[in-house]
Chain A
Amino acid sequence: MLETLAARVNENSALIRRGGFMSGAFLIEIGDRGFHVSVDRGRITNVEEGPFIMRGWSFAIRAPESAWRKFWEPFPEPGFHDIFAMNRFGHCTVEGDVDKLLSHLRYVKDVLAVLRRAPDSAGDDG
């Protein structure tokens, strides 16, 4: 589901500028599928699907596939429209080095939001 993440972020110069101080790796888990996302100064350099053997990352955001699908709807239902909303209502977990997430919060949120479908799109899940 994250196949297009790197291209969509890397074509967005405003987003790369916003993440200019962000380098490292985080994990997005969609159901039982893990995706290791590497970032270099705001640019996504690699998205790799697991399984991993003792692969490091700073923070992880984990949710069932059904929750992510709702999150990426053009107009998500209440509670699925933001990772903090999902966390509050138990639809996702945020684990690991939360400091890293907080230091680049808007960038990370905006990165995840690039996969949100446009309101008039037919349903490309990305």
Chain B
Amino acid sequence: MVELEPIVGRYITLRIEGRDYRIYFEEAGEGTPLVCLHTAGSHASQFRHLMCDPAVTDRFRVLAFDMPWHGKSSPPLGWQDEEYRLTSDFYVAVIMAFIEGLELAEPVVMGCSMGGRVVIRLAIEHGARLGAVIGLEGSDRPAPWYHNSWTDHPEFVNGDFCVGLVSGLCAPQSPDAFRWETLWHYYQGGTGVFKGDMHFFRTDSDYVARSGDIDTTACPVYLMTGEYDYSCTPEATLATAGRIPGAEAIIMKEVGHFPMSENPAVFRTYLLPVLDKILARP
């Protein structure tokens, strides 16, 4: 008998903005819920290492779902006649529907990239119901590093292009196996899905006017960014933390835009102390 990983995958149907979405999620561990949000154009497998780390799963119930249109989650009925465009409202609605649907009490929400952006809005609007938020490669406003016209380029729906666009966001020190697995997730994306996520990430996620309203005594905010990330730069993360009283920013050495999947061994050395602090709260 081969060894089974501790990760278990399940399907649920959530009603979001008046439509049904069949959602795939994975989980492992027991304890405080830790809801993980994948990056644009990818899926929840990015968190597989975390779900196999007893230092995390001994204390946390780690859950990661594929966003609608991503991974093994389905697009809604009628998708074939629609253009997928992720909005800030829809993104928040999906996350809250997942938390409420599984009756997760005071979950910690940790998102990366677009997930690291949306946790800012979650903390603004739903902070009282959350245990904490952790923004990986996160900031409170878009900072495009390529021209908006690129998203209209025919190549933007092509996996090879998506990989070319994000390949440099991995740190050069990250192990080849994990770098290429991280990039493979971009090849797996449905046509136009990464592009649709960019609507949120580039044009519909400016929270800078409200990020200072976050009550970090109710919902602590941790922002963790890799030094090699030129999409969400360390400077952008530090500036965001500066606008949120009580937020803590951590810049990770030899890590890029995908810490949990490109270099899990290095990432855990930064994450475990943060998780310790969250559990130590009264």
Contacts and interface: CB of A to CB of B under 8 A. Distances in A.
Interface-centre pick from B167, B171, B227, B230 (highest chain A CB count, 10 A): B230
Contacts of B184: none
Interface in A40-76: 74-76
Interface-centre pick from A78, A88, A109 (highest chain B CB count, 10 A): A78
A106 interface: yes
Contacts of A82: 167-169, 230
Given A98-B147, A103-B155, 14 more contacts: A74-B172, A75-B173, A78-B228, A79-B230, A81-B168, A82-B167, A83-B168, A85-B228, A88-B145, A89-B230, A105-B160, A106-B161, A106-B163, A109-B168
B153 interface: yes
13 contacts: A75-B172, A76-B172, A81-B168, A82-B167, A82-B168, A84-B146, A98-B150, A102-B153, A103-B155, A105-B160, A105-B165, A106-B167, A109-B164
A102 B155 contact: yes
Contacts of A98: 147, 150
Contacts of B173: 75
Interface of A: 18, 74-76, 78-79, 81-85, 87-89, 98-99, 102-103, 105-106, 108-109
Interface string B142-157: 0001110010010110
Contact of A84 (B145, B155, B172): B145
Contacts, number: 54
Interface of B: 145-147, 150, 153, 155-156, 160-161, 163-165, 167-169, 171-173, 227-228, 230
Nearest to A75: B172
B168 A106 contact: no
Contact of A105 (B145, B164, B169, B171): B164
A106 B161 CA distance: 7
A105 B168 contact: no
